[in-house]
Structure 1
């Protein structure tokens, strides 16, 4: 069990990567950055894009450490051992004066941007460079982008920009053209589960194998979300993470309900609708999430019918055994129809009296459009 500690630090913060070697699943970006830094080919502006929680701001801080390390510009800044670098530690703690982090979502006004750019004329106080990390840069106004453009095009030699965004399409092409762009990938379920396992071993946390997979799947590609869910599961499980705890926390029953509904739709099914709905109501799940799971299931079935077992590509969320069983039970046309029905059910969750109504109507619609009349009990 995890030890009690009044200074407990959230797992997502405690295990935030502090060097390139710690970053999970972004080898295509990390290798390029390491090579460019080692060869001293340092661009004046970088743009990191990708979904939330996959390491954009983390990589931006690591780049800053690489450029500001007391031991020289290096892709492997000194953070551990006897030679601790005070610059790197200050950047890690967010107190280094020449690394300025800005939240684009809260500083959208052009006056904010102009005040920021006025400071670029002053050289760095302590480091080699003055580094501006602008998170959610797509939130800046058009006027702010126009103000930023000239400085971004010809900044002083000691100024570097590292921009991060979840929505690069909202950034003007004139800004994009002046940056080195790196697209970060959403992490796979296997990568996240492996990292959860490693962290739990380091922390001495009892973890059931299936629980890490469930947490990784619920994180939807985000390592930060996965570790936040781990903290939540630890609190609920009194220091342990079990499958039942995670299922209870996520208000679901894993793939079991998805399988039961797929059974309902099979030709000559003996599954009873009333029993399935009663089983679902018994745990009061998040019905919208359950519809999300059904959409994912029909998406996977459609792919599996077309492509078969492709484990090496990691393109399926459901277990291959489930997909192999039910891909043979439905026509491709039926799977497409079921997918659309579940999508409509998700949309109806916004307007229905409650989510359970929208979910049950979606299930009834699935049955109404299935090939066989089902037993309703």
Structure 2
């Protein structure tokens, strides 16, 4: 299996919307320091402790010092919530329409344009140095951590050691754990600040530890490749370096919607009946960052929107329930106006919208399904 930076499926393309309508919240936890959910805090586990002791011998044989091991594992432990999240990953994938509603939402576009303007000098310098379109770098930042707002607060040593001990992907996560220890030993970050997603993806651009060792850049010149800092410069440079070293072609667009004046290339149609896209070599380079057509289109389309382009021209067909995106937005708006809050109205049906539908159906004595339909929409009019 080719293990690219994120092969284990943490990005938007395969992430389940936990909220509804509000969409995905990046790969981080969204928690503040000290505010992690209880199941993401260490609990006693004797078998895990024995595994760590055995692992430390293996790590020492690979050149990890005793001082690094002592500081890295101080205060860490087994995180039951990490195993739960790993076991509960679903093969379900949202439609491209839903994905783009989240990946290129009005909020993400608006914040992306502001972030692009705020960091324009750095982004332009990175484009000159690495040849990667500054808007593409910004879009990756937006999809990976919502422009740094959702970098994740789970201790990486605890997360990767828990997953390595659990064993489902033990070899892979032991490699990530050793790589994380090398990062600490190199002095790039203290253990107390090495945080990320529940599966160990780190910083503004959500690098896993092995990719960090291979691609991370000290752009600020302070001697540390600090992708966790509030200053995103090192992280943005690292994303640019990743794409450049994976074959990015300077001056070539990623592609674009067929008929919208984009460059010609291989044509794909990820959702039957939906828009078709021309894809260039750089589209496939974006897929090296995350091996998903939806992700690469999301990055490209968000980059275009950040640069001032409008929404896609072609329409998507009605969903399996016979509803268009406009219908789903209307459904969410009408439910919320009746007091059944869907927590937003973007046309993406998630758990909050389903809960609101169930509550409304209960209040009306209707069969409680939580499923949107034309009849349900009609009843709200």
Common topology (TM > 0.5) = no
TM-score, length basis structure 1: 0.25
The answer to which structure, 1 or 2, has the higher relative contact order (CA under 8 A, 6+ apart) is: 2
TM-score, length basis structure 2: 0.25
Kindly name which structure, 1 or 2, has the bigger radius of gyration based on alpha carbons: 1
